[in-house]
Amino acid sequence: MTLRQALIILAALTALLLAATWAACGTLIPPQANQYRSLLTREARMVWGLDAPVATFAGQIHQESRWDERAVSPAGAQGLAQFMPSTARWLPQVAPETGEPLPFSPSWSIRAMIAYDRWLWKRVKAASDCDRWHMLLSAYNGGLGWLERDQAQTRMAHMNPLLWSHVALHNAGRSSANIKENRAYPTRILGRWTELYRAAGWGTGGCDVE
């Protein structure tokens, strides 16, 4: 076999592998996600810059609603990004660019989620960007106040409140169901779902660069 033939075979195998990966991703990513892809990318880059972790934002929406703009949770959270009505009403006070709260509007939900994530990012302290993303998502799911109380408990236990692996061990008082959901939330988004959307070509994730 000549070098040229070997290179042709390698290129063909690579193309087949990529095609198989994209096909597998396509079966897990809801079809309706693609109609919001350019909007999500644009909004993310406007707030987070050109290196915005679009795959993680896509994973967050996937976890929240599976891209169902009409989704309503048993607790009353609404839309693509599953904002509670009280949070939707409060958000324009700290992020005026989000405008009038419209949780069932996909464009508002995407803009609001990205803005709220950025607001949390500026307030969360962590040892690394990846720790910070885990804590940000924990706060998005359960509230910044709960995260701060968990960090305080971590500190009182003489552990590092800036490491997610330490903070995740402590519960400042949530129910067993709520704490279980909260600890799984960032893990699913930054792991399985970010990997899914990154493999499908949606961009990078929050834990990509340390």
CATH of the domain at 109: 1.10.530.10
Number of domains within the chain: 1
Distance (Å, whole) CA 52 – CA 50? 6
pTM reported for the whole predicted model: 0.87
Give 171's DSSP letter.
Answer: -
| pLDDT tens digits along 85-103 | 999 999 999 999 999 999 9
**Structural domain range at position 80:** 32-199
Distance (Å, whole) CA 189 – CA 180? 15
In a domain, 67, yes or no: yes
| pLDDT tens digits along 5-17 | 545 655 444 444 4
- Cα 87 to chain center, whole Å? 18
In a domain, 10, yes or no: no
Instruction: Taking each helix axis as running N to C, give the angle between helix 85-94 and helix 106-123, from 0 to 180 degrees, rounded to the nearest 10.
Output: 60
pLDDT score recorded for residue 1: 65
What is the amino acid identity at position 7?
L
| pLDDT tens digits along 131-182 | 999 999 999 999 999 999 999 999 999 999 999 999 999 999 999 999 999 9
Q: Distance of CA 186 to CAs 99, 106, 168, 193, Å?
A: 27, 22, 11, 10
Distance (Å, whole) CA 152 – CA 74? 30
